[in-house]
Structure 1
Amino acid sequence: MTIAPDAPTLTTHIPDAPVDVRFTPTGTPLAVRYDGTIWPVAAEPLHWYTRDSWWDTRTTAPRGIGNVVDIEHWRLQVRYSTSALLRTFELRRQPLSEQWLLTSITDS
Structure 2
Amino acid sequence: MGFLTEGVEVDCDAGGVPVTVRWRGRGYRVAQDPVRWYERRAWWAEDARLPKDRGIGAVDQQMWRVQVQLTVRSELLTLELVHTLDTGRWRLLAATSASGTQVVRCA
TM-score, scaled to structure 1: 0.79
Name structure 2 gaps, 5 residues minimum. Answer: 99-107
Partner of residue 47 from structure 2, selected from 58, 68, 85: 58
Equivalences for 1:1-108 in 2 at 5 Å?
15-67=4-56, 68-94=58-84, 96-108=86-98
Identity %: 32
Residue-by-residue CA offset, 1:39-64 (whole Å, 9 max, x unaligned):
00000100011001323433321002
Pick the structure with more strand per residue.
2
Name structure 1 gaps, 5 residues minimum. Answer: 1-14
Q: Give the secondary-structure state (helix, strand or coil) at the position aligned to 1:105.
A: strand
Cα distance change of structure 1 residues 57 and 35 upon mapping to structure 2, 3 Å threshold: closer
Equivalenced residue count is 94
> What is the CA–CA distance in structure 2 between the aligned matches of 1:81 and 1:95, rounded to whole Å?
29
TM-score, scaled to structure 2: 0.80
Residue-by-residue CA offset, 1:70-100 (whole Å, 9 max, x unaligned):
0211100000011111110111123522210
**CA-atom RMSD, angstroms?**
1.4
Whichever of the two has the greater Rg, that structure is 1
**Does the aligned pair in 2 maintain the 1:69–1:95 contact within 8 Å?**
no
Q: Give the secondary-structure state (helix, strand or coil) at the position aligned to 1:55.
A: helix
